[in-house]
Amino acid sequence: MPRRRTARRLLALALPLILLLSACASDAPQDTLEPKGPIARDIDNLVNPVFLVAAAVFVFVEFGVLYLVFRFRRRHQDNDSELPTQTHGNTKLEIGWTVLPAVILAVVAVGTVSTLFQIEDRESDGLTVQVTGHQWWWSFDYDTDGDGEVDFRTANDMVIPAGQNVELEITSADVIHSFWIPSLNGKKDAVPGRITTLTLNADEPGTYVGQCTEFCGLSHAYMRQRVVALPEDEFEQWLADQAEPAEMPTEGDAALGAELFATQCSRCHLARGINDEQYEEEGSGDDLIAGEAPDLTHFASRGAFAGATFDLWNDLDGDDIVEADEIGVELNRADLEAWLRDPPGEKPMAPESRGMPNLELQEEQIDQLVAFLETLD
Amino acid sequence: MTETAVDEALPSAAGAEPHAHGAPSHETSTGISNEKLAMWVFLGSDCLLFGGLISTYLLLRHRSTSGPGPEDVFDIPFTSVSSFVLLMSSLTMALAVGAIHRGDVRRCRTWLVTTAMLGGVFIAGQVYEFTSFVKEGLGYTTNIFGSAFFTLTGFHGVHVSVGIIFLMSLFVMSLRGKITQESAETVEIFGLYWHFVDIVWILIFTVVYLIP
Amino acid sequence: MAIVEQPTAPLELTTGTTPTRPLGVFTRPQSTTGWRSWLTTVDHKRIGIMYGAASLFFFAVGGIEALLIRAQLAAPGQKLYSADLYNQLFTMHGVTMIFLVVIPLGAAFMNYLIPLQIGARDVAFPRLNAFSFWAFLFGGIMLNTSWFMGGGAEGGWFAYAPNTGVTFSPGHGMDFYAIGLQITGIASLVGSINLIVTVLNMRAPGMTLMKMPVFTWMGFVTQMLLVFALPVISVALFLLTFDRLYDANFFNVEAGADPLLWQHLFWIFGHPEVYILILPAFGVVSEIIPVFSRKPIFGYPFMVFSGIAIGFMGWGVWAHHMFASGLGPISVAAFSLSTMFIAVPTGVKILNWMATMWGGKLRFTTPMLFAIGLVTMFTIGGLSGVTHAVSPADTQQTDTYYIVAHFHYVLFGGALMAFLGGFYFWWPKVFGYKLDEKLGKWHFWTILVAFNLTFGPMHILGLQGMPRRMHTYIEGYGFEFWNAVSTAGAFLIAVSMLIFAANIIKSHRAHKRNPVEVGPDPWDARSLEWSVPSPVPAHNFDVVPTVSRLDEFWHRKYQEDETGKVVRVATGEEVAQKGDGTGVHLPSPSYWPLVLAFGLPLIGYGLIFNLGIAAVGGVIVVLAGFAWGMEPADDPEAHALAHTNGHGDGHVALTEGAGDGDGEEPAAVPAGTASDEEAGSDD
């Protein structure tokens, strides 16, 4: 962790200082003090001086009290019948320390309001993604040609072009959630019946993680999301790929898996090109009985599954994040199989009303499904 | 619950007047009796209760995704008449308070009963109104307007009904000789409550029925 | 200087005010000792003690919930228990600590102290006071019985719609939440009306508003906040209850509802609530610091007016809880500004406490240490609060552990520290013996360290991006170390509170074995409660004091000599009242507050499970209300008795000069000792 951040924490936290030194030992991908885009940086630039002011006040009060405690403590030789000078107050002084904080706060207020509007006034550079919170995963709808119709829907991983303002239109299908990628911007609630907006901008291509921050029921802890920023050209390619339906595997386990998928999973999951018909027939669309589950058409192009709770691909460089170049290399077979074996055992859900039930699959069937899912790139 | 404050203690920090029934105390720091002050504070609190309910109604009334809406069910002439009846009850309440201050227990009793009857007419009107709305298809759970409307007016109706019960209690007390010129303040304090409930109704009637 | 006595009021009894037994069947309970007397007491001191005891009990319950939470979070990916149970635990922890611990702790101190500090014999409505306590207790018990009836509330103490609707929270937990809080809300509302009237109306002669102790002032502001904030949460809870039990549509998004309605209603109550929790603590500290600095409070008017300012401004900041809800930039900017400026009056208080210590002779008794604990720890919470007011920054901080750290510094480091200090400070007044100072200091230092160990790391966790209300967290995000530290700290807090419990037991035993008179004024204190014996006799004051300035009691001990120097002219013993007043008429105990309050949770259970039970509860409430109205002001047979003193181990020390109820007028009381005064009567 960079020194600068450590120093700021020391100032910001107002805590026993020694404890803090070891704060730097760990890597924190969701760190709020490490902006990776211009909007998050605006916030950071605003909050840094506030932390400094707070630290100054902290030092003044805490050391002031320490000073008072030592300077004015009753000493053994003191004569208890002697009273200290009985001061009742000092109006000038008190007005002074009423006005002074007010002035300091007024300065902070100016910065706050201007940054607030600066962030709110950011315009999209073209791309708008519709973000919908579900218990307990996020779906992302893309309308690439701007005709007002959703062209494709993806889940867990939101892909954006790097270096551009991307506008999110956020809502929820059930309860209130909150979308948050700390390194790109603050959070914004997903309120059912309302659309809130949030702008993201990532300086560099990369993967940025976050998670739902508004308590949304049973599996709130397992509702995560990732933003993958790609270079412009790769992003265009990604859009084109996602718009295509999946390719029906023709042989081997994958083909059997596709069949199994169509019979077992169509009530909730759609993979375009695989089970369109069955989904049309069986898909309840009823949000309450799972019903609406992630679109799996390009499942294997994502870095994580099950509300981004589990990595879909092995993290080869050991930084705890599956980056774009690690996707498609080495499948995280163990977690995926465990998931198919017993979803509610892996992630708390209420299968009678929410989330994926245990389908009682045979090991053989699990292998087939995994083989099939791996083809959905 | 707090209505019982009316019957509550009559303490005085320095008073030498043990348990005079309902008589105003002149020994409090403010000069206002504890009971009356408590009633004022309670009514202040109750303002916020109705404030919350009225705000809720205003926010929700046009958000229904299905009918019927206000314009489909309201019978404004009918409600105007019952509102007028309730307003008249404020007048009779004031007459009751005036009578007891003069020591005219008999007339006070008459006005108390009249007030209760007018309140009863208002409640009967509300019951009639509610049943006719239900017949027209607006139940409590029908839509969001229904929930908000019945809750707001229902809370007011409960306030009026509680008031009627207290009026009847005052009436019974007066028959038992408990209401005298000395205890005029008890009637007066109840009068505060009754006027408050009426004023709230004027507000509700305006907000719910008159403002489109 | 001689005590200025209030002239004896002329005894003037009109005929027809004789206590009668209107229906013959209603009598008032008579026992003044034994456990039964606690059930029927209307004595504000005993009610205060019961509030304190009940709060400590609920503190243990909420504390165990906290320990379970911390145990689960000690390491990543732990599965000590289910996510569902975790959600219930953090919800009930919050609900318990806020509604069943800190609010009633404030009520405990205010009930006990406000009448004493303003020179009154009781509160304005003693029976209503008893009712408030029982309703709070039964409401709290009802909330907690949900654990045995299908599980506690699981939607968070803030209960955001629509997650708390039947669709998403199908169990009964949220029903218990909505109805249980409604009952404790009724309790607080009645209590606040009672105390407001008490402060306004029952002040001793000469006790103008600006001569009231700061604690009484802060209590008064708190009650004003309660009286106007509670109806708003009542509305919200009614709407939630109607939605859940009767299929209303208030939070039904499909029917067109707006979930933000709940948030506005909740926080319009919820933010004043924050000040309801902290202002009584500010009051406690404002009493302790001057006593142990041996100086008057610095800038009394500023202390009072800053408290009032907080009370007013507290209404204009609620939406800062909703900066991420999508309110729109204009509202966000407005609420940012108001939130920043509410820091000003709070800062004034901190600086005035420091100025009070400046130039004093500080005695570091346990209460003083806890008071300094508030000054230092609350400051940290206040400063992190200012960083939330910076709304763009708040969008990063909100709903993370940074917020959890913030409000624990405010509520634990602030409110609870002060109340613990208050326990040590007023314990001798209430029980007649001091708590052990050595254990007290152990208690303070362990809790200071443990508290910072628990909640300090949460700042770091929050800034590292760890959201709140997660039943677990995954490895590799830098959350492991500080969570482990925090858990260790939490268990150390438990140890520290056990020291407190041990202190109470030890001090009590030591006092039983070898009673040492602490006297009325063990700390050389300033306000009127120290001018009466410890423990306080049932009638509080033999004679109602006449007050001529702030800190009246202190000024009776210290005066300026010829040279203008302030010197001691009397000891506390000398100027204090002896507690042997006679002829004081006290309100009689009553069964009905208890019975009436008992009906409320029955109605609650009934609404949830079976309307038959609700009917029984309703009948109890109606009958008890009727009996309340009908019971005689005093039981004639009990007329010759009076209350025992504060904690029930004393015996009747008073002789009532009044007749036995046959219409005799009270006999003349010995001249010069006391007048026949009322401490507050019923009916």
Q: Is the pLDDT of residue B21 over 50?
A: no
Give the list of residues 6+ apart from residue C300 with CB closer than 8 angstroms, or none.
A88, A89, C210, C214, C550
Residues of B in contact with C231 (CB under 8 A): 45-46, 48-49, 51-52
- What value does the mean pLDDT take over residues A291-313? 91
According to the model, what pLDDT value does residue C658 have? 32
Interface check for C376 against chain A (CB to CB < 8 A): the answer is yes
In this prediction, residue A318 has a pLDDT band, given cuts at 50, 70 and 90, of confident
Query: pLDDT tens digits, residue range A165-207?
Result: 999 999 999 999 999 999 999 999 999 999 999 999 999 999 9
The alpha carbon of residue C367 is apart from the nearest alpha carbon of chain B, in Å, by 31
- Flag whether residue C460 sits within 8 Å of chain A, measured between CB atoms: yes
Q: What is the DSSP-derived secondary structure letter of residue A25? A: G
- C-alpha torsion angle, residues C172, C176, C179, C181 (rounded to 10): -150
Q: Do C256 and B19 touch (CB under 8 A)?
A: no
What average pLDDT does the structure give for chain C?
Answer: 88
pLDDT, tens only, C542-576: 999 999 999 999 999 999 888 888 889 999 899 99
Virtual CA dihedral for C399, C403, C407, C413, nearest 10 degrees? 150
CB C633 within 8 A of CB C19: yes
- Total count of residues recorded for chain B: 212
Mean pLDDT of B91-100: 96
Closest to A205 in 3D by CA, of A177, A179, A176, A238: A238
Instruction: Give chain A's end-to-end CA distance (angstroms, integer).
Output: 35
Q: Are C312 and C279 within 8 A, CB to CB?
A: no
Q: Is C438 exposed, middle or buried (0-12, 13-18, 19+ CB in 10 A)?
A: exposed
Mean pLDDT by 10 residues, chain C (683 residues): 40 39 58 84 96 97 97 95 96 97 97 96 94 97 95 94 92 96 97 97 95 97 96 97 96 93 96 95 97 95 95 94 92 94 94 96 96 97 94 95 97 96 97 96 97 96 95 91 96 97 97 92 95 93 93 93 88 89 81 95 96 96 90 56 35 32 35 39 38
- At C25 the pLDDT is 54
Q: What is the DSSP letter of A275?
A: S
| Selection from A107, A172, A105 nearest residue A138 by Cα | A172
Q: SS3 of C678, please? A: strand
- What is the chain C residue with the closest CA to A32? C463
pTM of the predicted model, to two decimals?
0.90
Q: Could you write out the three-class secondary structure of chain B?
A: CHHHHHHCCCCCCCCCCCCCCCCCCCCCCCCCCHHHHHHHHHHHHHHHHHHHHHHHHHHHCCCCCCCCCHHHHCCHHHHHHHHHHHHHHHHHHHHHHHHHHHCCHHHHHHHHHHHHHHHHHHHHHHHHHHHHHHHCCCCCCCCHHHHHHHHHHHHHHHHHHHHHHHHHHHHHHHHCCCCCCCCHHHHHHHHHHHHHHHHHHHHHHHHHHHCC
Q: From the candidates C4, C197, C240, which should be mutated to test the interface with B, based on the most B CB atoms within 10 A?
A: C197
C-beta of residue B182 within 8 angstroms of C-beta of residue B144 = no
Q: Which helix (H) or strand (E) holds C253?
A: none
Closest CA relative to residue C270, chosen from C95, C134, C63: C95
| pLDDT range class, residue A94, cuts 50, 70, 90 | very high
Q: Nearest 5 degrees, angle CA C123-CA C125-CA C128?
A: 115
Q: Which of A83, A101, A288 sits opposite C347 (nearest CB)?
A: A101
Answer yes or no: are the C-beta atoms of C647 and C52 closer than 8 Å: no
Q: Which of residues 187-216 of A touch C (CB under 8 A)?
A: 187-189, 191-194, 196-197, 210-216
From the CA of B114, how many Å to the nearest CA of chain C?
A: 23
- Measured between beta carbons, which residues in chain C are less than 8 angstroms from residue A86? 295-296, 566
Cβ of A47 within 8 Å of Cβ of C393? The answer is yes
**CB pair distance less than 8 Å for A54 and C389:** no
3 state DSSP class of C537: coil
Pairing, β C558-560 against β C566-568: antiparallel
- Rounded CA separation A344/A355 (Å): 8
For residue A167, give both structure tokens. 């506008």
Q: Residue A375's Cα: distance from chain center in Å?
A: 27
pLDDT category at A291 given cuts 50, 70, 90 is low
- Subunits with at least 3 CB pairs below 8 A relative to chain A? C
- Coil, helix or strand at residue C493: helix
CA distance C110 to C218: 10
d(CA C332, CA C390): 10
Asked if the Cβ–Cβ distance from C544 to B18 is below 8 Å, we say: no
Of A74, A219, A353, which has the smallest distance from its Cβ to C361's Cβ? A74
The ipTM of this complex is 0.92
C460/A31 touch (CB, cutoff 8 Å), yes or no: no
Distance from CA of B46 to the nearest CA of C (A): 7
* Residue burial B108-122, b: 16+ Cβ < 10 Å; e: rest: bbbbbbbbbebbbbb
> Which residues 321-360 on chain C approach chain A with CB closer than 8 angstroms?
324-326, 329, 332-333, 336-337, 340-341, 343-345, 347-348, 350-352, 354-355, 357-360
Distance from CA of C668 to the nearest CA of A (A): 43
- Choose among C153, C146, C62, C152: nearest CA to C101: C62
